[in-house]
């Protein structure tokens, strides 16, 4: 009678072992995302000593192709055929300047046009070259165009 008890105990041990999870795969923990604070860069403004732009426009060239540019002229620009600048002066002041300065260089005033806000002066020299000085005035400023 001992045999059936031993067989029963053995059978009971096998069943118990099968039910205990022995031999089953071990569960793997699932990684869940976590939120971690990420450092961010913050700009820090540091004052610098940036030079301020000049308050006055720098003076332009003193001459163009051998012709004088009126002192105090600003915002000048030109090429081989013409030069234009602005100046704080009346049309009459510009006219007087160019008649005097071009006269010193041997240029003769051959014609003048007179208008309310504009004036055209035409100069010639001894080799029949011409220079036109056009003046457009507005208040106490003038736009001057030299054309050869």
Whether residue 133 contacts residue 121, with contact meaning beta carbons closer than 8 Å, is answered with: yes
Collapsing DSSP states into helix, strand and coil, what is residue 18?
Answer: helix
More confident residue, 33 or 23: 33
Q: Which residue matches tokens 């009459």?
A: 92
Can you give the pLDDT at residue 20? Answer: 55
Whether residue 141 contacts residue 135, with contact meaning beta carbons closer than 8 Å, is answered with: no
Can you give the pLDDT at residue 18? Answer: 57
Residue 56 pLDDT more than 70? no
**pLDDT class for 17, splitting at 50, 70, 90?**
low
DSSP character at residue 71: T
What is the C-alpha separation between 14 and 8, in angstroms, rounded?
10
Weakest-pLDDT range from 28-32, 52-56, 102-106: 52-56
Residue 54 pLDDT more than 60? no
Residue 124 pLDDT more than 90? yes
What are the tens digits of pLDDT across the range 57-112? 555 678 899 999 999 999 899 999 999 999 999 998 999 999 999 999 999 998 77
pTM over 0.85? The answer is no
Nearest C-alpha neighbor of 110 from the set 129, 136, 93? 129
Pairing of strands 141-147, 130-138: antiparallel
Sign of the C-alpha dihedral computed for residues 62, 66, 70 and 76 taken in this order? negative
Can you give the pLDDT at residue 118? Answer: 86
């Amino acid at each position: 009678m001992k045999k059936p008890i031993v067989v029963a105990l053995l059978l009971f041990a096998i069943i118990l072992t099968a039910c205990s999870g022995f031999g089953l795969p071990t569960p793997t923990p699932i990684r869940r995302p976590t939120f971690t604070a990420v450092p961010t860069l913050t700009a820090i403004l540091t004052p610098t000593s940036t030079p301020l732009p000049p308050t006055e426009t720098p003076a332009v060239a003193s001459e163009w192709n051998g012709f004088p540019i009126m002192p105090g002229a600003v915002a000048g620009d030109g090429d081989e055929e013409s030069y234009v600048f602005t100046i704080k002066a009346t049309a009459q002041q510009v006219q007087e300047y160019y008649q005097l300065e071009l006269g010193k260089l041997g240029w003769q005033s051959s014609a003048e046009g007179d208008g309310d806000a504009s004036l055209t002066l035409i100069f010639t020299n001894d080799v029949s070259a011409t220079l036109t000085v056009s003046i457009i005035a507005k208040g106490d400023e003038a736009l001057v165009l030299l054309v050869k």
